[in-house]
């Protein structure tokens, strides 16, 4: 099992900008390209509404356009992204994020996500349940179904919990696990010893799928604009700039 990197993310506040996008350009030279022709079906597991888009949205969209069955599983309701909300405000935020997720998956050409509604910010307490539920989903697919989930070392506790649960579910069902980083690109740098580069493959770039990903990412207005004037956005502009500079990659 890959160790967690929560301390690395905690030591790199989002507001501080993290690793500049320019450092990630050309970072993937020499890495193998993921062969999408080997994918019989894909299940993308997102800890929160938007992770499926930011982490693996272009590849999921490309596979779907090629006739591959793609299922999105959103694990949490996303209600914890803005701290300090009242119960009513949190319910409004959850509704907003569910609508944003529906719009984003439609833009990507995907079916509506399966929403498990586990507690945002507390997924580590539900790993056994999540493993069972993911195994049920994976078990409905063909042999060798790909399960793309956030990396077990991504830094965010929910992301790492989802990665661990997905690894367990994949082992039980014979699915092929692919772990996609999201916050790694924020706290790590090219060549960082905490990242298993030797097990990484780069997803092929497709201009049309990337354009769909950009439009889908823009659907998450609750994360891109301040919830209140005095607050910073959950995802400042430089986060998206870095995501698109990096492209999509998985740890095999």
Q: What is the pLDDT of residue 1?
A: 42
pLDDT digits (tens, 9 = 90+) for 82-114: 888 999 999 999 999 999 999 999 999 999 999
Torsion angle, alpha carbons of 53, 143, 168, 136, to 10: 80
Q: pTM higher than 0.85, yes or no?
A: yes
CA-angle at 182, arms to 60 and 56, nearest 5°: 5
Query: Residue 172: CA atoms inside 13 Å, Cβ hemisphere, count?
Result: 18
Question: Mean pLDDT across the stretch 193-201?
Answer: 97
Q: Is the backbone of residue 69 left (phi > 0), alpha (psi -120 to 50) or beta?
A: beta
Look at residue 227 in the predicted model and tell me its pLDDT: 86
Q: Does 20 map to a domain?
A: no
Q: Is position 21 within any domain?
A: no
Q: What is the pLDDT of residue 24?
A: 95
Q: What residue ranges in 157-247 does DSSP mark as E strands?
A: 176-180, 200-202
Higher pLDDT, 174 or 231: 174
The token pair that represents 241 in the structure block:
């700039």
Contact indicator for 75, 130 with CB cutoff of 8 Å:
yes
Percent of the chain with pLDDT over 90: 94
Taking residues 148-176, what's their average pLDDT? 98
Q: Using one digit for the tens of pLDDT, what is the confidence trace for 22-35?
A: 999 999 999 999 99
- pLDDT higher than threshold 80 for residue 141: yes
Of 121-125, 180-184, 230-234, the least confident: 230-234
233 burial (CB, 10 Å; 0-12 / 13-18 / 19+) is middle
**Enclosing domain of residue 202:** 6-14+32-251
Closest CA to 43 of 174, 158, 223: 174
Look at residue 246 and tell me if it is in a domain: yes
Mean pLDDT of 149-163: 98
- Alpha-carbon gap, residue 76 to 122, rounded angstroms: 9
CATH of the domain at 94: 3.40.50.10320
Q: Of 237, 162, 214, give the one whose Cα is nearest residue 53.
A: 214
Query: Looking at the domain assignment, is residue 24 inside a domain?
Result: no
Q: Quick check: is 27 in a domain?
A: no
Read off the pLDDT of each residue in 71-77 and give the average, rounded to a whole number: 97
For the stretch 33-46, pLDDT in tens is 999 999 999 999 99
User: CA-CA distance, 47 to 123, in Å (whole number)?
Assistant: 8
Residue 26 counted as domain residue: no
23 domain residue, yes or no: no
Both tokens of 39, joined, read 């994918």
Total domain count, the chain: 1
Structure tokens at 62: 């490309």
Taking only the tens place, the pLDDT of each residue in 116-140 is 999 999 999 999 999 999 999 999 9
Per-chain mean pLDDT for the chain: 96
Does 199 map to a domain?
A: yes
Asked if pLDDT for residue 62 goes beyond 60, the answer is yes
Percent of the chain at pLDDT > 70 equals: 99
Chain-centroid distance of CA 58 in Å reads 11
């Amino acid at each position: 099992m890959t160790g967690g990197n929560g301390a690395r993310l905690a030591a790199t506040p989002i507001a501080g900008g993290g690793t500049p996008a320019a450092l990630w350009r050309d970072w993937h030279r020499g890495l193998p390209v993921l062969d999408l022709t080997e994918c019989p079906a894909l299940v993308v597991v997102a800890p929160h509404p938007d992770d499926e888009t930011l982490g693996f949205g272009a590849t999921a969209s490309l596979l779907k356009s090629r006739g591959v069955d793609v299922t999105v599983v959103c694990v949490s309701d996303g209600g914890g992204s803005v701290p300090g909300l009242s119960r009513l405000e949190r319910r409004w935020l959850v509704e907003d994020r569910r609508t944003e997720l529906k719009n984003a998956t439609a833009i990507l050409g995907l079916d509506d996500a399966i929403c498990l509604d586990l507690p945002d910010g507390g997924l580590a307490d539900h790993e056994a349940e999540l493993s069972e539920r993911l195994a049920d989903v994976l078990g409905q697919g063909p042999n060798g179904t790909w399960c793309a989930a956030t990396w077990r070392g991504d830094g965010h506790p929910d992301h790492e919990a989802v990665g661990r649960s997905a690894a367990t579910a994949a082992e039980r069902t014979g699915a092929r696990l692919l772990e996609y980083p999201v916050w790694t690109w924020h706290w790590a740098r090219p060549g960082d010893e905490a990242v298993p580069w030797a097990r990484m493959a780069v997803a092929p770039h497709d201009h049309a799928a990337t354009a769909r990903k950009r439009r889908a990412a823009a659907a998450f207005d609750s994360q891109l604009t301040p919830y209140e004037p005095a607050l910073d956005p959950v995802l400042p502009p430089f986060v998206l700039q870095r995501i698109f500079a990096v492209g999509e990659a998985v740890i095999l």
